[in-house]
Amino acid sequence: MSAVMITRKVRKWEKLPGKNTFCCDGRVMMARQKGVFYLTVFLIVGTCSLFFAFECPYLATHLSPAIPVFAIVLFLFVMAMLLRTSFSDPGVLPRALPEEATFIEMEIEAANGNVPAGQRPPPRIRNVQINGQIVKLKYCYTCKIFRPPRASHCSICDNCVDRFDHHCPWVGNCVGKRNYRYFYLFTLSLSLLTIYIFTFAIVHVVMRSVDSGFVKTLQDTPGTVLEVLVCFFTLWSVVGLTGFHSYLISLNQTTNEDIKGSWSGKNRLQNPYSHKNIVKNCCEVLCGPAYPSVLDRRGLTQDDVPVPASTTTQSNSVPQTTKTTAPLIPNEHTPDDAKSSIADSAIAHAEKISPSPKEEKPPTPAKVPPLASPETDVEASIIIAKEKAL
Amino acid sequence: MATEFHNLQELRHSASLANKVFLQRDYSEGTTCRFQTKFPSELESRIERTLFEDTVKTLNNYYAEAEKMGGQSYLEGCLACATAYLIFLCMETRYEKVLKKIGRYIQEQNEKIYAPRGLLITDPIERGMRVIEISIYEDRGSSGSCSGSSSTSGSSAR
C-alpha cells in the first residue's frame, strides 16, 4: 500500500501480446522469423541488378531503351508490393479485455446449462446464419473471443487474423484481410518480372551469339546464366501461385478454407461469401475498401513502474503522466451544462496546484497537508490517489 | 472539445462502474461490419429502447457507408494501385474518414444522451470492431461531499 507507482507513457505496440516484431516505433509489423523474407529480397534485388548490369546496356542500344525503363518500373512495383505485404498489419484481431472475456464466458455457461461433474463440457461453438447458410464460429482459447467468420488463429504469430489466408514465410508475415491484395499483386507482378527477365535474357543471349558466338557471349556476360537459372526455377512456383490465387479470388475463398475444404460442396455447404459472379468477387477482393488496422500500435498507454518509497526524491527525472490517477470530483446528478463547468474546474484546479504547463494533473484532495515543492506535491497526489484506488 | 471529452471520461471513472454490456456483431449479411440491435435487458431501466436502437442503427449505417462497394471505392482502389499504394501515405482513405465521423457521432451521443443516464459507449474500433461496449455506471446520489464542495468552489471561482 505504500509503494509509489510512477506511470510513464509507452506506445501500445510494446505491450501487445503475440509473437510479432515491430520496427520504426510500431509503424512496421512482421512475424518473428524473417530469414526467408531477407532471402526473397536478396533474390529479387540480386537478379534485377544482374539484369540491369549485363542485359540492359546491350538491349537498350540494340533493341529499345524502353526495355530497361519498363524493367525498372516493374521492379519498383514488385518491391513496393512486397514491402507493403510484409510490413502491414494483416488484420490482427486484438484479444478480449478481461471484462469482455468474462461476459463471453457467462454467455457460454448460460448456453451450455449445467454440465454434470466428470463430463467434458461441450465445445464452444456459436452458430450464425450467413446468407442463409449456417456457419460455425469457433472460440479461441488464446484470444478469448469467438472468431468472426473467416478469421483464424495463426500459431506462428499467435494472433487471430481476420479473413486469414495463410502465413507466408517468403514475405515474413501473415496474409489476411488487410494485405491480401498486396500479396496477390506482389505474386502477379513478380511473375511478370520473372517472365520479363527470363525472356529478355534469352533474347540477349541469342542476339549476342549471332554476333560473337555462344561461348564468348556467356564469357562476356556471366550474370546471364545465373539470371536464367533463378528465373527458371522461380517461374514455376510464382506463376503457379498466382494462378492458384486468381482461382481463389474468382471464387472469393481463402487458402485456409480451400485447404480445409470448407466449401467443397460436401454436406451441401456452399460458400456464403461468394457473389456467384467472377467479376464481382474479383472487385470485392482487389478493389474493395482499404480496411483500417484495429490494432492501435502507435497509440500511447500507461506503464506502471513500481518505485520503492525511499527513492521518491530521485524520481523527478522519470517522465510522469497523470492520466491514470482518478480525479476526485464526481459527475453524477448534474445535467449536461454542469459537466463542462466541472471539466473546466478540474483543469483550473489542477493548474493552480502545479505550475508544469505540459501535463494535465489531477486535483489534489482537501486532505493533503501543505507541501513544500511542486514536484513532491504531484508525487504525493499520485500516492494518495493510488491508495484511494486501493 | 477533445480535452473536455477526455475529462468527461476521466470523470466517469470516479463514478463506480457497475456493469458492462457488449453488443455483438450481426453476421447475417456476411462479414461486413454490422451490430445486433437487440436491446440488452440490463439497459431496460436506464435508457429508452428507441434512443438505443437509433444509435445502433445509425452506427450500422455509417459502417455500411464505409464498406460500400461502389464506384467511388473502385476508383479509389484502382487509383491507389496505379500509384503502388503510395498515395495512401498522403491521402486518407474513405474508411478512415467515416471512422472519424463515427468517433464524433459517438462522442456527441455520449454527451447528449448516454452520460446523463449514467452510461458510456466505447467506440467499437477500440475493441477490434468486435463489440460495442456500453459501460453502466451506478448513480452516486449524495456521496463525495467534500469533493463536491471543491467542484462548486471551482466553478464559482470562474
The tens-digit pLDDT sequence of chain B (158 residues) is 443 344 455 555 567 878 889 999 999 888 889 999 999 988 888 889 999 999 999 999 999 999 988 888 888 888 898 888 888 888 888 899 999 999 999 999 999 999 888 899 999 999 999 999 999 988 655 444 433 344 444 444 44
Chain A residue with minimum CA distance to B158: A345
Q: What cell was used for A44?
A: 529479387
Chain B residue with minimum CA distance to A297: B126
In chain B, the N- to C-terminal Cα span, in Å, equals 19
Q: Across all residues in chain A, what is the average pLDDT?
A: 79
pLDDT at position B105 is: 95
Identify whether B66 is part of a domain.
yes
Most confident of A178-187, A380-389, B37-46: A178-187
Please check the confidence at residue A58 and state whether its pLDDT lies above 80: yes
Provide the 10 A C-beta neighbour count for residue A118. 5
Among A residues 92-151, those touching chain B with beta carbons less than 8 Å apart: 93-94, 96-97, 99-100, 103-104, 128-131, 135, 137, 145, 148-150
With beta carbons under 8 A apart, name residues in chain B contacting A163: 31
DSSP states of A30-89 as a string? EES--HHHHHHHHHHHHHHHHIIIIIHHHHHHHT-THHHHHHHHHHHHHHHHHHHHHHS-
Tell me how close the Cα of B65 comes to any Cα of chain A, in angstroms.
Answer: 10
Distance CA A332, CA A141 (A): 39
Identify whether B110 is part of a domain.
yes
Instruction: For residue A14, give the DSSP letter.
Output: G
Task: Decide if A389 touches B, using CB distance below 8 A.
Answer: no
Residue with cell 529478355: A200
pLDDT at position A324 is: 41
Distance CA B95, CA A143 (A): 26
List CB contacts of B115: < 8 A, sequence separation 6 or more: A336, A339, B8, B12
Identify whether B36 is part of a domain.
no
pLDDT at position B10 is: 53
List CB contacts of A184: < 8 A, sequence separation 6 or more: A242, A245, A246, A249, A285, A286
Interface test with B, best of A135, A332, A386 (most B CBs within 10 A): A332
Range of the domain at B124: 50-139
Chain B residue with minimum CA distance to A389: B14
- Report the residue from B67, B69, B127 with minimal CB separation from A283: B69
Identify whether B80 is part of a domain.
yes
Q: What cell was used for A154?
A: 495463426
Tell me how close the Cα of A128 comes to any Cα of chain B, in angstroms.
Answer: 7
Instruction: For chains A and B, count residue pairs whose Cβ atoms are closer than 8 Å.
Output: 186
Identify whether B157 is part of a domain.
no
Number of domains in chain B: 1
Identify whether B73 is part of a domain.
yes
pLDDT tens-digit readout, A99-156: 889 988 888 888 777 767 777 777 788 888 888 888 889 999 999 999 999 999 999 9
Identify whether B14 is part of a domain.
no
List CB contacts of A216: < 8 A, sequence separation 6 or more: none
Identify whether B148 is part of a domain.
no
pLDDT tens-digit readout, A245-296: 999 999 999 999 999 888 877 666 788 888 888 998 998 888 888 899 998 8
Among A residues 184-213, those touching chain B with beta carbons less than 8 Å apart: 185
Q: What cell was used for B155?
A: 466553478
